[in-house]
Amino acid sequence: MGGGTSEKQPKGLKFSVELPHMKLDLDGSEGSLPEVRRIIEALNTEEQDEGFFEIRARLTDEFFQHQPLIARLRNALVLDEDVRILKRIIPLEQEYDLDAGKEHRQINAVNVKTVVASLFDELSGSIRECFIHIRGELGREQQCVVMDAVKQRLGMEVETRFFSTKKNLEGNVLVEAVCFGEALGEVW
């Protein structure tokens, strides 16, 4: 009998989104749905909050899954408060553990302090609140090294909130900061 195999073809999707200032016709597969959702949300948000689309484009998706930050961003935009987005990469160092016979990557505490200092050096004015996202393959102990460096740099008077995402970034860690305050310099 016909012992052929049938390949599953990805389902094609076609749809149109109409907003007051644009019409968007999309053609894609089911695999593109997360990206399409992100675009539609960003376009819808842009209409609701001026400047929000620009902020969204500069931050990782994990930031926009963090509801306290979203609420704080919306409030800052309404109050016309200064918002500054900062990003830096911390390279991980490859080490070999002779006792365990394994290679692993970890951060260098001195390098972390240098990178964190440079993260906030370009700011002028005063920071009142800061959300920090640590993205990379770091254990809790190594995340604490980054958190301690941030707290030392900003001081205890700045309300600082941290969250992290484990993700392979090819031997690097991304530190994203969204700062709120006064006279922070060029916004974004």
Whether 183 has a pLDDT exceeding 50, the answer reads yes
> Can you give the pLDDT at residue 21?
58
Cα separation, 96 vs 99, whole angstroms: 9
Return d(Cα 184, Cα 127) in angstroms, integer: 7
Q: Could you give the domains of the chain?
A: 82-182 (3.30.1330.20)
Whether 85 shows a pLDDT value over 60: the answer reads yes
**Tens-digit pLDDT profile for residues 14-45:** 777 776 556 777 777 777 777 777 776 666 65
* pLDDT on residue 172: 92
pLDDT reported for residue 47: 45
51 pLDDT above the threshold of 80:
no
Residue listed under structure tokens 């539609």: 40
pLDDT at 6: 52
In the chain, which ranges are E strands? 12-19, 22-29, 82-91, 93-97, 102-106, 126-135, 159-165, 172-182
Beta-carbon contacts of 42 under 8 Å, excluding residues fewer than 6 positions away, are: 53, 56, 57
What is the distance between the alpha carbons of residues 20 and 108, in angstroms, rounded to a whole number? 51
pTM summary value: 0.68
